[in-house]
Structure 1
Amino acid sequence: MMDLDRLANSPIGRLVPISGVTPGTGDTWRYHAFVPQPLPVTPALDMAALNSASKAAMEVARLDQAVSQLPNPRILVRPVVRREAASTAALEGTYATFGDVLEADFLEDRQLSSEQREIRNYVNATEKGVELLDTYPISVGLVSHLQEILVRGTSSEAYDSGGLRQRQVYIGPRNRPISEARYVPPPEGMILVEGMSDWEKWVNTASDVPLVAKIALAHYQFESLHPFSDGNGRIGRLVALLQLIQEGILRVPILNISSWLEHNRQEYLDSMLEVTMSGSYDKWVAFFSEAVGSQAKAGIAQIDGLLGLKSQMITELRAAGIRGSALEVAENLIGYPVIDVRTAQSMIEKSFEAANNAISRLVEQGILHEITGRTTNRLFACRRVLQLV
């Protein structure tokens, strides 16, 4: 339940009265929503928070450097984006195995489970967001477009998808009174429009605030405003990744922040709420910086592990006398731990028969395993890669 007494005394926002009608019953209700002030130009941060942010940025720079030295960095981006999609969805209560996430790439839309569709939508939103950054800065319009992609074809798609919400929302138990909410963000209308306009300007204004601290503050403010009818957490975490790319510290989306936050979910939620109550950003910035720094280190370790595994598999195949197309497919399995023949054909730019033979050779060598039990449209998995990613 929202602590109205503490929120009424928050130094970084105010309570405003709201009212509405409960769908189904027609009962009217009255309550309060919290409206955060615009973020300060120069936020007061203690030395511990500033140091944490600076160290995290250094780890991200190391990760970017490690990726930039690879001949084809985007091959490693593919599984990382899908891992991020699974983790960020899990934070919102949508669960799917990583194998199901990878399998979704090879299914038609009608074949997708609701969980696979939501997670694939996040992958699509990530790829679109990175593409749009080549032309546009992070903006309300950009994130609104990404939210529309995120909820497309799901139960969360609504009349106000793809734009700022046109209704009151709250964070708390489903189908319970708003008075039991953990947090109630600003009402729809001009308060929300102005809040998001201020957020956009703040994100894109040059600042002496260390980048990871700036991203942490922007994420807090985005979640406090809760601008969309659904998908705010996932879009907010995606924006954090896009900020790293926009600022040039990371060239490709290879940082899996949500996995760490998923394992520290309660502290993640409590830390943001404590900012709202106390007005102090220090612990939140340190917490978020730890997430970024830890996952950057983990990313470097994963790259090393995948490259080592690839080298090991290629050595094993050559020792077994395997050459040609099968080796070409094996070279790419660290990015495609689940694969079908058509994808392999496109990968090696040869005939379907050549790709099918290559897959068969890799199955014979125990590198790939058929996972569908079908005779057509079969999928194959490299379990050794899946264990690493």
Structure 2
Amino acid sequence: MQIEENGQGTLRNNLSGKLAYYSFFPTPLQSLRQLNLTEETYRTLSACSRKLGELEGMLYFVPNADMYLTMYARKEALLSSQIEGTQCTFDDLLSPSQTQLHHKDVADVVNYVRAVARGVELLKKMPLCTRLLRQVHAVLLDGVRGTEKNPGELRSSQNWIGPSGCTIATASFVPPNIEDLSNTLQDLERFINEPQVEMDPIVRAALVHYQFETAHPFLDGNGRLGRLLITLMLINDGVLHSCLFYPSFQFKKNRSEYYRQLTSVRERGTYEEWIEFFCNSLLESAKDSVGSLKNLVDLHNRSTATITENLGRTAANGQRLLGILEEHPIVDTAFIAAQLDIGRSTASSLVKSFEELGILRPLDESRQRYRQYGYEEYLSILREDAEPIR
């Protein structure tokens, strides 16, 4: 790694002889030179704050808001995991057949959802600190790929980033050595928890995400935890009150540029360009979240009206089924019968009615037994740009 010194950090010479290598020691965020953000970046920041405020405001008037938040948390988990190469789809994540988590990619995403919930819960009890992140990391890697890499424990050896099979000598980036890692995390913790009234919280989130990814404090899971940290920062700084959008939406769509921007800060100190990219990414993600929420609420209202107008005496059970579908949009007859506490034949008749109304659609026409059905319009809204990267 080569750098153009611009206040972003220094290269440390480690070991000697054939074992010698350079690691990167980032400048503490408190010591950064004055940021010179462009007028365009300030406009984007303002627009992003307004859009996130609009999203928060919408939730006060949305029925079953917690259910939509759960879906958004799942989508963020899926998108963030897909950036790392996970091949899980939204349908995989929601399918009843995956309840045993035999699909390793599904397990990764489910752990991410659990880790988000754990982080939000811990924020109510302690400051956003290394101890909190270690506990979240332990959930993230619990029983899945990477579980052999000390979940919840800071690395005690040098790691590096580069193409598969590369050595530390040929790596594209070598994070801080162990001594520098300790100092970097202490500085980062102070920056997070010391008020900086003059700095926009979205800018703070951008800088913290960069610094965490640069520190790479764990042996695995740093990318996913770093993106989860964005949401925790925004909650910590009062921008959000819950996980109500999916910031990884644009990072996944522009994955190469996302990585290039992070690398550029390390190599050339381009903090302003990174912040501009980060703000634009969050704005587009917030716009998509608002649009999706409007579409989901509109679909809820249309489906409710359709059930009321067409199902007569079974409309009550129909409305209960709609509520189940908004939490579990992929179902089978046995699942519906259990959830509604009705017989299999009654559940089967209800499914047939929902098929005729166009609400449910069989996912596999070739199967006669154990057939699954999807709330297709609902799924199509949530599937937007949520296909794996091939």
Shorter-chain TM-score: which interval? 0.7 to 0.9
- Structure 2 partner of 1:313: 303
Q: Does the alignment pair 1:386 with 2:379?
A: yes
* % identical aligned pairs: 26
Structure 1 Cα separation of the partners of residues 204 and 125 of structure 2:
22
Distance change (3 Å), C-alpha of 1:13 and 1:103: same
Q: Which amino acid aligns with 2:81?
A: A
Once residues 195 and 89 of structure 1 are traced to their aligned partners in structure 2, the CA distance between those partners, rounded to angstroms, is 26
Contact 2:261 2:273 in 1 (8 A): yes
Aligned amino acid, residue 281 of structure 1: Y
**Counterparts of 2:110 and 2:70 in 1: how far apart (Å)?**
12
- Note the alpha carbon deviations across 1:199-223, whole angstroms, 9 max, x for none: 1111121112001111001111111
The answer to whether the aligner puts 1:29 opposite 2:19 as a matched pair is: yes
Other-structure match for 2:144: 154
CA distance in 2, matches of 1:346, 1:193: 52
Runs (5+) with no aligned partner, structure 1 = 21-26
Q: Which residue does the alignment assign to 1:23? A: none
Number of residue pairs matched? Answer: 374
In structure 2, the residue matched to 1:46 is 37
Native 8 Å contact 1:103 1:338 kept in 2:
yes
Does structure 2 retain, via aligned residues, the 8 Å contact 1:80–1:254?
yes
2:182 is matched with: 193
Task: Provide the C-alpha distance between the structure 2 equivalents of 1:19 and 1:118, rounded to a whole number of angstroms.
Answer: 36
Q: Which amino acid aligns with 1:336?
A: H
Secondary structure of residue in 1 paired with 2:146? coil
- Residues 81-135 of structure 1 deviation map (CA, whole Å, 9 limit, x = unaligned): 12111211111111222111222785114xx211111111111111211222222
8 Å Cα contact 1:52/1:289 also seen in 2: yes
Aligned to 2:386: none
Q: For 2:216, give the aligned amino acid.
A: H
- Per-residue CA deviations over 1:275-309 (Å, capped at 9, x if unaligned) read 12222311111110111111111111111111111
Contact 1:339 1:380 in 2 (8 A): yes
Q: Give the letter aligned to residue 55 of structure 1.
A: A
SS at match of 2:29: coil
Cα distance, 1:194–1:340 mapped onto 2, change above 3 Å? farther
The letter of the residue matching 1:184 is V
3-state SS, counterpart of residue 11 of structure 2 = strand
Detail structure 1 runs of 4+ shifted over 6 Å in the superposition: none
- Partner residue of 2:75 out of 83, 99, 107: 83
Deviation at residue 342 of structure 1 after TM alignment: 7.2
Aligned residue in 2 for 1:339:
331
Question: Any unmatched runs of 5+ in structure 2?
Answer: 383-390
Write the deviation string for residues 18-51 of structure 1: whole angstroms up to 9, x where unpaired: 359xxxxxx9632111010210267423243344
Once the two structures are superposed, what CA deviation does each residue of 1:303-339 show, in whole Å capped at 9, x if it has no partner?
Answer: 1111111112222222222511221221453343223
Aligned AA for 1:86? Answer: L
Quote the offset at 1:181 in angstroms. Answer: 1.8
Partner of 1:24: none
Where in structure 2 are the equivalents of 1:128-167 lying within 5 Å? Answer: 128-167=118-157
- Partner of 2:150: helix, strand, or coil? coil
- Whichever residue aligns with residue 155 of structure 2, its letter is R
Structure 1 residue 248: Cα displacement: 2.3
TM-score by length of 1: 0.88
Q: In the TM superposition, what is the alpha-carbon distance from 1:347 to its structure 2 partner?
A: 6.2
Normalising by structure 2, report the TM-score.
0.88
RMSD: 2.5
